[in-house]
Amino acid sequence: MQDPQGAAFNPTTMRMELTSLQQLIFSPDAQSKFVHTSIAGYVTAAIFVAGVSAWYLLRNRHLELARRSFRMAALFGVLATLGVITLGDALGFVAAHAQPAKLAAMEGLWQTAPAPMPFNLIAFPDQAEQRNRGAIQIPYLLSLLVTHSLHGSVDGFDRLQQQAARRIENGIPAVLALKALSHDPNDAVARAQFDAHERDLGYGFLLQRYAPDLGRLTPQQLQRAVRDTIPPVAVVFWSFRLMLGFGFLLLAFFVLAVLYSLRNQVQEQRWFLKTAVWMIPVPFLANEAGWLVAELGRQPWTVFGVLPTWMSASTHGVGYMVFSLAGFVLSYSVFIVIEMYLMLRAIRRGPQDPRPDGDAAADAAMALFPAAAPGNGG
C-alpha cells in the first residue's frame, strides 16, 4: 500500500489487479518493512523477558533461571536492536525514492538545501507557514543518513509540491478518460488517452475532492490539492524522533545488560534491575511511534500515489461508524484486561520448580501401579 508494486489499474474492471507476485514479494520496500517489523517484535520480547527476570532477581526468586534468562534476553536484545536500527536506515534510503513526501515530513524539510544537508535534531514544524521554528541542526548528518554520502541531496516540500502540481495536471486527462471508459469500455480514443496518463491517475483523483467538474478547474482548487500532498508534518516529525530516541535507549540498556550479566554483576546493580522493569513499555511505545510515522507519513494516500484517502473513506453513516468503533474498542479492552491478568498471574507464580528425576519416576510408578505405593500393602 505504501509502495505499490506488481499491480496495475484495470480501466475495464475499475480495480487494481495483481500483475506480478514476484514484484510484490521482492519489492525492496516490502522486504525491508517486513524484516524491520519482525525484528522489532524480537526487541519487544527481549525487553519483556529481561524485565520479568529482573523482577525475580529483585525479589530473590528463581535466581538461577532469572540470571540465565536475563543474560539470554540481553544478548538477543543487543543483536535485535542493532538489526532494527540498521534496517531503519535502509528504510530511510528506500523512502527517499518510494515515498519522498514521508521522508520530507520525517526530517521537517520545507526547503531543499544544497548538499551536504543538515539534520533537524529538534524543530517545531509550522504546517500553515511551511517552515520550522526553533530548529537545532547537526551539520552534514542528513546527507550521510539518507544518501550515504556528503554529496547527496533530499527534495524538500518546495520541490515536491512542484512535482505534485505537474502530476495532478497530468492526471486530469486520465480521470476524464476513465469516466468515458466507464460509459463505453470500447472507446479507443479514451483508452489511448488513459494509457498515456495512467501513471498520474491517483493525482487526478486528489483534485476531484475540490473540483468535481474538472472542466471548470480553478487555480485555487489546484493549489488546495497540491497542499494536500503534504502529510501532517509535526506529528510525523516528532513520532520519528521518539522512535529513534526509544531505539537508542533500548540499545544502551541492552549493552549495559550484557556487560553486567557477563561479569556476573547484574544482581548487585539493583538500580539497573529496577530500570529493567520500567523499560518493559519502551519497545511498545517505540513500535506505536513507528506505526504513526508509517501511516500518517503516507497521507493523503491509502495506496501511495494511486488511491487517495478521501476516496477510500467509508460510506456508512456516523452512527454506524461510532457503534462499530465502540464495539471494537470494548472488545479489545476486554481482551487486554484478560491478557494482562493472565500474564501477571503467571509472572507472580513463576516457573514450576522441576522435581528430581527419582521423584518423577516414583510418581509415574505410583500412577501406573497404585497398589505398589507405600501403605497399600505393596
Percent share of the chain, pLDDT over 90: 56
Calculate the average pLDDT of the chain. Answer: 87
Which residue blocks in 140-232 are alpha helix, DSSP H?
A: 141-147, 157-183, 188-197, 201-208, 219-228
Q: Which three cell numbers stand for residue 190?
A: 479514451
| 2-41 residue pLDDT tens | 788 888 888 888 888 899 988 888 888 888 888 888 999 9
Q: What is the 3-state secondary structure (H, E, C) of 17-62?
A: EECCHHHHHCCHHHHHHHHHHHHHHHHHHHHHHHHHHHHHHHCCCC
| 142-164 residue pLDDT tens | 888 888 888 888 899 999 999 99
| 280-305 residue pLDDT tens | 999 999 999 999 998 999 999 998 88
Coil/strand/helix, residue 307: strand
pLDDT greater at residue 356 or residue 301: 301
263 near 76, Cβ under 8 Å?
no
Non-local CB neighbours of 116 within 8 Å, separated by 6+ positions: 139, 140, 142, 143, 144, 150, 151, 152
pLDDT greater at residue 88 or residue 253: 253
Q: What is the predicted pLDDT for the residue at 354?
A: 55
Long-range contacts formed by 252-257: CB under 8 A, 24+ apart:
253/47, 253/77, 253/279, 254/46, 254/50, 254/74, 254/77, 254/78, 254/81, 255/78, 257/50, 257/70, 257/73, 257/74, 257/77
Question: Distance between CA atoms of 323 and 282, rounded to whole angstroms?
Answer: 32
Least confident of 51-55, 192-196, 252-256, 354-358: 354-358
The domain limits of the chain are: 7-113+231-313, 324-378
Long-range contacts formed by 67-75: CB under 8 A, 24+ apart:
67/261, 67/266, 67/267, 70/257, 70/261, 70/266, 70/276, 71/258, 71/261, 71/262, 71/266, 73/46, 73/47, 73/49, 73/257, 74/46, 74/50, 74/254, 74/257, 74/258, 74/261, 75/258, 75/261
Averaged over 177-182, what is the pLDDT? 90
Place of cell 503516507: 298
Give the predicted TM-score (pTM) of the model: 0.83
Q: What is the predicted pLDDT for the residue at 353?
A: 59
133 near 97, Cβ under 8 Å?
no
